[in-house]
Chains A and B, each alone.
Chain A
């Protein structure tokens, strides 16, 4: 019987969070330019994206180096 491979859930979660952070950084300003969302919340969403990116990508790169 072949050995069970463990799904790397923490890594998947971190990558998902990092990509979400990048999307939240870029997409709102594009949608604002297109007139789809109001300019008000755009800067706050971008800041949230920034925080998510650095907390996830920073951890991801540190983890990759350690492994």
Chain B
């Protein structure tokens, strides 16, 4: 087959990237349940469970804090993200373009796409720890930041290549694969925990579970070189681990396919079966294992099935993340077809995955990634819910052909500077910054827009919109 023929076929993979989703393309709740279950019973859950243990989370902090944080995350998706997605039916990027103008969206999308690529890179690295087992590759440990062998680099390239190829095929194929793998992955997490119980001395019937959990698994004492976590760390990390997706509105791109707004509650499958139970399970298997790398930890617990689970868990999360990265980059390069930009995103992802720092510092990276992207979610929220009530025009940049909406640009930049000062000067940890940043974004954008629309551009506000 000629290359040009393959190219033209790939070009036909048009998926409403630049227009509202039409009624005939809306999807039932099953796809969203599968998508969220697949995405949040993921390779990173193996790492996060392990890192919670390393950060000295106690058993009550994990069980109570994890429950509260996950509940807050579900409510954020259901009451903030999905109602806007269902009403507008636009991807995050095209909605932002209408609000912020193409120049600001260009900058945002480059940052956003890089963040998505790094996140997908962490998942590729997690998969690679399992793929490398039969080849006796030296696995990275908690302290590793740089590639530690040629074997590791080659494994990452192979895994990254396969994941990129699947992301190019589009949303429906991703959802189908995630739907098939999700129930099995969840059971593997649970089965691995069961299989680790005898090694840890947990009696049949769970009679001494709390004692073993306190003494051996979540001891409440951080490992050397790791910061000490409290219940507040667990609540805020759990709630805002996916801050970019819910409060940051990235999942507008997903929920624009939903028939009803309440499909946002489908995220509960991912939060409770995925994050909550999977983080508990991975902590249990880590306590019974002799490695820091997710692949060997799962392999030691349940053999080959565990290693396969790590590969697939990384895969099903990396795929939608790469898909989002492709969408983000496409706005920045409108003349490129989506498959080309996804390929570029896949390349960046694969290179990032070669650095184990991405996995071993995953908690910090996840918090940073939410913090950088979350102000734009606040801006969308203000534009959608508050602008009409305040007598302001929504989609201001589109209506007035503005290339750079300075009200949005200043809001974003100021909040990044404030967050940087709060973290570096005042010593506030990254995990606690995204929510205040989101709230401040809502009010700052509203305030700046009042100044912009009612005082500075008074003449523009009275013009007919250019639709």
Contacts and interface: CB of A to CB of B under 8 A. Distances in A.
Given A28-B191, A44-B303, A47-B304, 10 more contacts: A21-B184, A22-B187, A26-B191, A30-B191, A30-B194, A42-B302, A46-B188, A46-B305, A54-B181, A61-B179
Interface residues on A, range: 20 to 34
Which of A34, A62, A65 has the most chain B CB atoms closer than 10 A to its own CB?
A: A34
A61 B176 contact: yes
B187 A26 contact: yes
Contact of A65 (B176, B183, B190, B308): B176
23 contacts: A21-B184, A22-B187, A25-B184, A25-B188, A26-B191, A29-B191, A29-B194, A29-B195, A30-B191, A32-B194, A33-B197, A34-B204, A43-B303, A43-B305, A46-B188, A46-B191, A46-B305, A47-B305, A47-B308, A49-B305, A58-B180, A61-B179, A62-B176
Interface in B300-337: 302-305, 308
A47 B340 CA distance: 37
B32 to A, nearest CB: 15
B212 interface: no
Contacts of A49: 305
A62 B194 CA distance: 32
B176 A43 contact: no
A54 B204 contact: no
**3 smallest beta-carbon distances between A and B, as pairs:** A43-B303, A29-B191, A29-B194
Interface string B28-65: 00000000000000000000000000000000000000
Interface of A: 21-22, 25-26, 28-30, 32-35, 39, 42-44, 46-47, 49-50, 53-54, 57-58, 61-62, 65
Interface of B: 176, 179-181, 183-184, 187-188, 190-192, 194-195, 197-198, 202, 204, 302-305, 308
Question: What's the dominant secondary structure at chain B's contact region?
Answer: helix
Contacts of A42: 195, 302
Nearest to B194: A29
Contact of A33 (B179, B188, B194, B303): B194
Contacts of B197: 33
A22 B184 contact: yes
A53 B187 CA distance: 12
Given A26-B190, A54-B184, A62-B176, A39 B305 contact: no
B305 A32 contact: no
Which of A29, A32, A35, A39 has the most chain B CB atoms closer than 10 A to its own CB?
A: A29
Contacts of A47: 303-305, 308
Contacts of B183: 22, 57
Contacts of A53: 184
A1 B300 CA distance: 62
A32 B304 CA distance: 17
Contacts of A30: 191, 194
A47 B308 CA distance: 9
